[in-house]
């Protein structure tokens, strides 16, 4: 049996005193030894059992405190490798030994029963899981969720504010861009029109701050670049775009709303091929579909998930909303397709939605991949991108394939002018080795999803498209986990 | 083989298969032998020639698939250039290179390409080389006092090889200078270096100037206005320029400056996988004919096809050939 401690950070406990996590970890190993001694661990499973001690980056996530992951071959036949994963952040010491015992018992090939869980779907890769239906539902009905929660989306962020709108960050971005324009002008290469693109504009707050700042800086320096700029507001929601445009009325001659799919900005903006000098995104990539891959003993596995609700949660849902177990599936479909009011009128619909999201859980299993199985390689990329990544990856690791982010990135780069750059503020894993030092999600962020973005993958994608990808810390807010990713043209 | 009116040609490179990219990387990682890689190169070069013939191209190249990129193939061969062979893992990256002493004059082995072409095709042939200005921009100069002097010596070194290739029977030679567009201020000395390279070379020489095609995207933007009038001093027969992607506005410069060159007209955008129709190609040729007479017009893509999937590259070349045929028919040729 191998124990993985997937959490490396500075302990906040006093020297010589065991931390709370240390206490929990001791409890895990002690309980495991008890189970072995008591003959409760199947000897056929024990040698290849792995125990993972996680500290999931998001307090609210899709896992129960203790879960079991079984493995299968590519066709779904069970393999001997099994994993028990414990979220130390959620665990309660009083309940842990029993939870562990139940998990160990369920690892056995002879195990039966599922604790009365109500399954909502079949096993699927993360990218096809219904969590994305809920994510879309959230952005479609954001206002209703915010009204019910009593706080705006930004206030619901872990820090209570978005790093997108920090005035000092926006100012630096303005100055950096202005300097590029100045240099191009000195070489007689300044285009007649200067297109700029922001993808995921929200209420237009950052765009407004940026254009205001640019206009002021331009005037202060006696240049007339403002007259040439065309700021393209990109978002998939026409309502959002309309709101953003309304807030930018003072610059209306210089803004262009562009309804677009964040996964493929090029499709909507192909007339801007090789023309855009600056592309900006904040907190878009962390909300796009991903897959998880696991490398164990030299073999690659795809993490597949199955949505469920625990027996207790199903009982509670019935008690609070009168939805019986047998009806949960059909009510959920109505919710996803028609929104909260298709389920219950008034506030009750949103309350049901919020409760459902709270109870929503995912089981995981690891499906071995056939050699060079292409289905999990994002569209527009090739297996060789993945090979690049694996070449720099540790042997024993679980990591994201940020396929949505990679697809979006690959489909944005062709918009860039030869001197243009793309800048992304988000939460990135910069090196593959970092995945061994912590478990990076996915998490629930209010009604939506959030997961760290595999920056190493984007670096590999950028390299194949002729760009070096760099990361620098977001220094404008102490303690911020945000990183700024930016591109430069490869020589 | 006699060339028709509005002859068609390629700029040089043909579609790079992904499996060959992997093989090249494997070679760099010492997982594949040079002999095995060379066998693969020969096979794809033959296939590239055959594809061009099948598409109906008049003047063919070997597809240049044995070249990692437009720099390393030359720096590895140029006597006097130090190459750090451990400095890259991905074949398309550039080696770190440096010149620490005066360049020697000697063969760099490109006549093999001429012999290979003559062995496998009856069509007129073309071999491209990277020009002195482009090479100067990629080799660290630790010897020459100025870039201009370095380029002039590179021109002399290439001159030896160009003459050798002419003697070996190549129909046409092409010099590629994509970096002009990024450094227009260099043009006066860059043209002198070209003239040193082509001095006494007795075959048709084309100077190809584009805006870059590294990784299938432009490296620079602007207008060809910067070329004129300095470029009129270049002792070459033809200028091959990029128009399909950028629009044809700059063709007027040929008229404005009474440029005596044959024009290699870029009619295929190699930076998109959308395949042009023959009608679009014909239209582009017709517009060029308003400025340049048919006798001085060659039809070609904007740049090499190396970044295009094979089926796209083939379809684009076939459309180009068909487009040229349409206009030839209209001219009664």
ipTM of the complex model: 0.90
Evaluated on CA atoms B36, B37, B41, B47, the torsion sign reads positive
Min Cα separation A468/chain B (Å): 12
Q: What percent of chain B has pLDDT over 90?
A: 96
Q: In this complex, do B217 and A191 lie within 8 Å of one another by their Cβ atoms?
A: no
By CA distance, what is A270's nearest residue in B?
A: B272
CA–CA dist A453, A391 (Å, integer):
19
User: Which residues on chain B are in Cβ contact (under 8 Å) with A466?
Assistant: 214-217
By CA distance, what is B212's nearest residue in A?
A: A418
Size of interface A-B (CB pairs under 8 A): 41
Give the 3-state secondary structure of chain A. CEEEEEECCCCCCCCCCCCHHHHHHHHHHHHHHHHHHCCCCCCCCHHHEEEEEECECCCCECCCCEEEEEEECCCCCEEEEEEEEEECCCCCCCCHHHHHHHHHHHHCCCCCCCCCCEECCCCEEHHHCCHHHHHHHHHHCHHHHHHHHCCCHHHHCCCCCCHHHCHHHHHHHHHHHHHHHHHHHHCCCCCCCEEEEEECCCCCHHHHHHHHHHHHHHHHCCCCCHHHEEEEEEECCHHHHHHHHHCCHHHHHHEEEEECCCCCHHHHCHHHCCCEEEEEEECCHHHCCCEEEEEECCEEEEEEEEEEECHHHHHHHHHHHCCCHHHHHHHHHHHHHHCHHHCCCCHHHHHHHHHHHHHCEEEEEEEECCCCCCCCCCCCCCHHHHHHHHHCCCCCEEEEECHHHHHHHHCCHHHEEEEEEEEEEECEECCHHHHHCEECCCEEECCEEECCEEHHHHHHHHHHCCEEEEEEECCCCCCCCCEEEEEEECC
Put simply, whether the predicted model's pTM sits higher than 0.80 gets the answer yes
Phi-psi region at B332: left, alpha or beta (left = phi > 0; alpha = psi -120 to 50) = left
Evaluated on CA atoms A338, A342, A343, A346, the torsion sign reads positive
DSSP E strands, B166-261: 172-176, 204-209, 238-241
B13-42 residues touching A, CB cutoff 8 A: 18, 21-22
By CA distance, what is B214's nearest residue in A?
A: A466
By CA distance, what is A277's nearest residue in B?
A: B221
Q: In this complex, do B221 and A463 lie within 8 Å of one another by their Cβ atoms?
A: no
Beta-bridged to residue B268, according to DSSP, are B301
User: Which residues on chain A are in Cβ contact (under 8 Å) with B222?
Assistant: 188-189
The contacts of residue B178 (CB under 8 Å, 6+ apart) are B70, B134, B208, B209, B210, B211, B212, B213, B219, B303
CA–CA dist A147, A127 (Å, integer):
29
Contact status of B73 with chain A (Cβ, < 8 Å): no
Q: In this complex, do B221 and A419 lie within 8 Å of one another by their Cβ atoms?
A: yes
By CA distance, what is B226's nearest residue in A?
A: A188
Min Cα separation A164/chain B (Å): 30
Contact status of B94 with chain A (Cβ, < 8 Å): yes
Q: Give the mean model confidence (pLDDT) for residues B270-283.
A: 97
Pick B217's closest partner by Cβ from A189, A274, A387. A274
Instruction: Assess whether pLDDT exceeds 80 at residue B224.
Output: yes
pLDDT in tens, B167-199: 999 999 999 999 999 999 999 999 999 999 999
Per-residue pLDDT of chain A (491 residues; tens, 9 = 90+): 888 888 766 555 556 666 777 888 888 888 888 888 888 877 777 777 899 988 887 888 999 999 999 999 888 888 888 899 998 888 888 998 898 888 888 776 666 667 789 999 999 999 999 999 999 999 889 889 988 988 776 666 666 667 778 899 999 999 999 999 999 999 888 999 999 999 999 889 999 999 999 999 999 999 999 999 999 999 988 888 998 999 999 999 999 999 999 999 999 999 999 999 999 999 999 999 999 999 988 888 999 999 999 999 999 999 999 999 999 999 999 999 999 999 999 999 999 999 999 999 999 999 998 766 777 787 767 877 787 788 888 888 899 999 999 999 999 999 999 999 999 999 999 999 888 887 787 888 888 888 999 999 999 899 889 999 999 999 888 888 889 999 999 98
Contact status of B80 with chain A (Cβ, < 8 Å): no
Min Cα separation A251/chain B (Å): 28
By CA distance, what is B94's nearest residue in A?
A: A491
Contact status of B221 with chain A (Cβ, < 8 Å): yes
Q: Select from A186, A194, A274, A374 the residue whose CB has the most chain B CBs within 10 Å, as the one to mutate to test that interface.
A: A274
CA–CA dist A457, A453 (Å, integer):
9
CA–CA dist A206, A211 (Å, integer):
9
Residues of A engaging B, defined by a Cβ cutoff of 8 Å? 188-189, 191, 273-274, 382, 384, 387, 413-414, 416-419, 463-466, 489-491
Q: In this complex, do B18 and A465 lie within 8 Å of one another by their Cβ atoms?
A: no
Instruction: Assess whether pLDDT exceeds 90 at residue B225.
Output: yes
Tokens 């684009």 label which residue? B316
Min Cα separation B21/chain A (Å): 9
Instruction: Assess whether pLDDT exceeds 80 at residue B79.
Output: yes
pLDDT in tens, B83-124: 999 999 899 999 999 999 999 988 899 999 999 999 999 999
Q: Select from B212, B222, B247, B307 the residue whose CB has the most chain A CBs within 10 Å, as the one to mutate to test that interface.
A: B222
Q: Select from A384, A418, A488 the residue whose CB has the most chain B CBs within 10 Å, as the one to mutate to test that interface.
A: A418
Q: What is the pLDDT of residue A106?
A: 79
User: Which residues on chain B are in Cβ contact (under 8 Å) with A489?
Assistant: 219
Q: Select from B71, B221, B307 the residue whose CB has the most chain A CBs within 10 Å, as the one to mutate to test that interface.
A: B221
Q: In this complex, do A274 and B222 lie within 8 Å of one another by their Cβ atoms?
A: no
Contact status of B309 with chain A (Cβ, < 8 Å): no
The contacts of residue A163 (CB under 8 Å, 6+ apart) are A169, A282, A283, A425, A474, A476, A477, A480, A482
Q: In this complex, do B212 and A465 lie within 8 Å of one another by their Cβ atoms?
A: no
Min Cα separation B92/chain A (Å): 9
Paired tokens of B225: 């206005």
Q: In this complex, do A418 and B22 lie within 8 Å of one another by their Cβ atoms?
A: no
CA–CA dist A258, A238 (Å, integer):
9
User: Which residues on chain A are in Cβ contact (under 8 Å) with B94?
Assistant: 491
Q: In this complex, do B215 and A464 lie within 8 Å of one another by their Cβ atoms?
A: yes
Q: In this complex, do B18 and A382 lie within 8 Å of one another by their Cβ atoms?
A: yes
Min Cα separation A383/chain B (Å): 10
Pick B18's closest partner by Cβ from A384, A416, A466. A384
Min Cα separation B218/chain A (Å): 6
Q: What is the pLDDT of residue A18?
A: 66
């Amino acid at each position: 049996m191998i124990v993985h401690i997937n959490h490396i950070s500075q302990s906040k406990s006093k020297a010589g005193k065991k931390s709370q996590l240390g206490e929990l970890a001791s409890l895990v190993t002690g309980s495991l030894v008890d189970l072995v001694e008591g003959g409760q661990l199947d000897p056929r499973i024990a040698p290849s059992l792995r125990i993972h001690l996680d500290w999931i980056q998001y307090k609210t996530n899709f896992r129960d405190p203790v879960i079991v992951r079984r493995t299968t071959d590519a066709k779904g036949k069970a393999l001997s490798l099994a994993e028990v994963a414990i979220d130390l952040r959620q665990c309660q010491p009083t309940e842990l030994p029993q939870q562990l015992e139940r998990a160990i018992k369920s690892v056995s090939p002879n195990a039966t029963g599922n604790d009365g869980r109500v399954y909502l779907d079949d096993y699927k890769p993360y990218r096809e899981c219904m969590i994305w239906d809920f994510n879309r539902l959230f952005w479609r009905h954001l206002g209703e969720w915010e009204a019910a929660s009593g706080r705006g989306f930004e206030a619901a962020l872990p820090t209570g504010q978005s790093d997108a709108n920090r005035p000092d960050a926006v100012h630096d971005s303005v100055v950096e861009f202005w300097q590029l324009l100045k240099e191009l002008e000195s070489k007689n290469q300044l285009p007649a029109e200067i297109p700029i693109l922001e993808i995921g504009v929200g209420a237009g707050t950052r765009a407004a701050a940026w254009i205001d700042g640019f206009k002021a800086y331009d005037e202060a320096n006696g240049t007339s670049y403002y007259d040439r700029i065309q700021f393209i507001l990109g978002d998939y929601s026409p309502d959002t775009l309309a709101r953003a445009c309304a807030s930018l009325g003072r610059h209306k001659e210089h803004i262009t709303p562009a309804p677009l799919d964040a996964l493929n900005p090029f499709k909507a903006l192909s007339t801007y091929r090789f023309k855009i000098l600056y592309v900006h995104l904040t907190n878009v990539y962390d909300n796009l579909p991903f897959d998880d891959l696991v490398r164990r003993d030299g073999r690659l596995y795809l993490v597949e998930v199955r949505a469920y609700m625990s027996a207790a949660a199903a009982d509670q849902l019935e008690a609070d909303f009168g939805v019986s177990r047998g009806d949960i599936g059909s009510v959920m479909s109505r919710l996803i397709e028609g929104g909260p009011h298709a389920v219950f009128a008034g506030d009750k619909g949103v309350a049901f939605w919020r409760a459902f999201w709270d109870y929503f859980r995912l089981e995981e299993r690891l499906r071995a991949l056939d050699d060079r199985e292409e289905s999990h390689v994002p569209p527009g990329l090739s297996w060789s991108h993945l090979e690049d990544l694996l070449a720099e990856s540790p042997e024993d690791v679980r990591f994201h394939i940020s396929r949505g982010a990679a697809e979006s990135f690959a489909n944005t780069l062709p918009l860039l002018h030869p001197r243009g750059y793309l800048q992304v503020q988000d939460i990135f894993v910069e090196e593959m080795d970092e995945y061994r030092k912590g478990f990076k999600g996915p998490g629930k962020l209010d009604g939506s999803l959030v997961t760290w973005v595999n920056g190493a993958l984007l670096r590999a994608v950028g390299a194949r498209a002729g760009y070096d990808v760099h990361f620098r810390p977001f220094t404008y807010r102490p303690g911020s986990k945000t990183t700024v990713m930016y591109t430069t043209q490869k020589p | 083989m006699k060339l028709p009116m509005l002859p068609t040609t390629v700029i040089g490179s043909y579609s790079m298969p992904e499996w060959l990219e992997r093989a090249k990387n494997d070679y760099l990682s010492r997982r594949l032998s040079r002999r095995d890689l060379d066998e693969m190169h020969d096979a794809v070069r033959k296939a590239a020639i055959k594809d061009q013939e099948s598409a109906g191209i008049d003047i063919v190249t070997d597809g240049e698939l044995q070249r990692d990129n437009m720099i390393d193939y030359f720096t590895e061969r140029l006597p006097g250039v130090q190459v750090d062979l451990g400095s890259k893992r991905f074949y398309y990256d550039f080696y770190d290179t440096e010149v620490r002493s005066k360049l020697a004059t000697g063969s760099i082995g490109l006549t093999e390409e001429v012999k290979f072409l003559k062995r496998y095709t009856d069509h007129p042939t073309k071999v491209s080389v990277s020009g002195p200005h482009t090479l100067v921009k990629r080799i660290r100069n630790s010897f020459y006092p100025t870039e201009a002097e370095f380029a002039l010596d590179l021109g002399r070194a290439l001159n030896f090889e160009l003459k050798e290739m002419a003697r070996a029977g190549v129909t046409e030679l092409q010099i590629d200078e994509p970096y002009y567009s990024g450094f227009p201020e260099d043009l006066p000395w860059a043209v002198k270096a070209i003239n040193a390279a082509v001095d006494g070379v007795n075959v048709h020489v084309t100077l190809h100037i584009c805006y870059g095609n590294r990784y299938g995207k432009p490296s620079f933007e602007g207008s060809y206005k910067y070329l004129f009038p300095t470029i009129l001093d270049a002792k070459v027969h033809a200028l091959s320029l990029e128009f399909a992607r950028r629009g044809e506005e700059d063709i007027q410069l040929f008229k404005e400056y009474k440029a005596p060159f044959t024009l290699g007209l870029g009619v295929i955008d190699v930076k998109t996988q959308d395949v042009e129709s023959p009608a679009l190609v014909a239209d582009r040729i017709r517009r060029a004919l308003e400025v340049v007479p048919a006798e001085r017009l060659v039809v070609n893509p904007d740049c090499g096809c190396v970044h295009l999937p094979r089926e796209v590259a083939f379809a684009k070349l076939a459309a180009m050939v068909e487009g040229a045929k349409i206009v030839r028919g209209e001219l009664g040729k």
